[in-house]
Structure formats: structure tokens, C-alpha cells
Amino acid sequence: MAPTARCRRAGELAKLSVRFLAIAVLLLSSYGAPKAAPPQEKPPRMVVVTGKDLTGTVYKKLGLPNQQYCWDTCLKEDKCSGVRWGVIEGDTAGLCLLITGPLAFKEPVQPKTEDGKAIHVTVSKKQRDTAAGGV
């Protein structure tokens, strides 16, 4: 092959390489852009209902060291819709009632132990935040 033919052929190959490179960049740029992830639903949380007591279908009774354990248990279980936490005055350990199904609220009671110590009752419902910000 003559030197001029070789140079011409090298020039053609360079043009072809540039074209293929441009096409590859265009194709990769359309696929390489990360797509926006769908909005993540916020995890459910427990919301204290002040000034009310709670009734419903109790499916589990647990003696727990503090209220946070009660809430954590409810948040982990899909069928839990609310909790009723009772603790004797001056203590942190108490009784956790896990409630399923629809919740009914009523006027609070002020229970006492046999020896007259007050039992503090706190009710909480599980709230699932949606895109609209409701329950």
C-alpha cells in the first residue's frame, strides 16, 4: 500500500471512530441519567391522644419496662392500630395493650391500685403519613 492510501485510510477510520463515539455517548447519556425515585412513604408513628381513653379489640397484653417498647411493638406489627399504656404512679414499667381494628375513644378513667396508688393511662394511635399528609 502506498503511503498516501494508508494516510487516507487512517483518516477514514478516525472519522468513523468519532462517529461511533458520538453515537455511544448519546445512547449512554439517555440511559445513564438516574430516574427520580418514587416518593417514599414515611414510616408510621405513634401519636398520643390527650384527654381520651381508648377501647377496641385487644389482641395482645404485654408487661414492658417502658412506653417506648410498647410503641415499638405496635409499629412493628401491621395489625396494631393503637395502644393503651398503663403505669403505676412513680414507676416506669407498665402494661401495654395492643389494639387492632377501629379505635373508639371515650372519656378517660382514673384507675387506682388496691392500695390507692394512681394508675396513669396513656393512649396512642398509629398514624400512617400519606402524600396528602393525612392519617
Claim to verify: residue 71 and residue 117 sit in the same structural domain: yes
94-123 confidence digits (pLDDT tens)? 999 999 999 999 999 899 999 999 999 999
Mean pLDDT of 12-39: 63
Nearest to 95 by CA among 133, 55, 69, 63: 63
Claim to verify: residue 6 and residue 26 sit in the same structural domain: yes
Helix (H), strand (E) at residue 72? helix 67-76
- Report the C-alpha gap between 112 and 126 in whole angstroms: 27
DSSP for residue 107: -
- Report the 10 Å Cβ neighbour count for 75: 15
Grid cell, residue 104, equals: 373508639
28-72 confidence digits (pLDDT tens)? 666 655 666 667 778 999 999 999 999 999 999 999 999 999 999
Tell me, what's the pLDDT at 40? 74
Q: Is residue 132 part of a domain?
A: no
Q: Is residue 84 part of a domain?
A: yes
Claim to verify: residue 22 and residue 78 sit in the same structural domain: no
Q: Is residue 106 part of a domain?
A: yes
- Report the C-alpha gap between 120 and 90 in whole angstroms: 10
Helix (H), strand (E) at residue 54? strand 53-64
Claim to verify: residue 71 and residue 123 sit in the same structural domain: yes
Number of domains in the chain: 2
Range of the domain at 62: 45-127
What's the CATH code of the domain at 49?
3.50.4.10
Claim to verify: residue 15 and residue 77 sit in the same structural domain: no
Grid cell, residue 88, equals: 403505676
Claim to verify: residue 53 and residue 115 sit in the same structural domain: yes
- Give the pTM: 0.66
Assess contact for 85 and 94: CB atoms under 8 A: yes
Q: Is residue 111 part of a domain?
A: yes
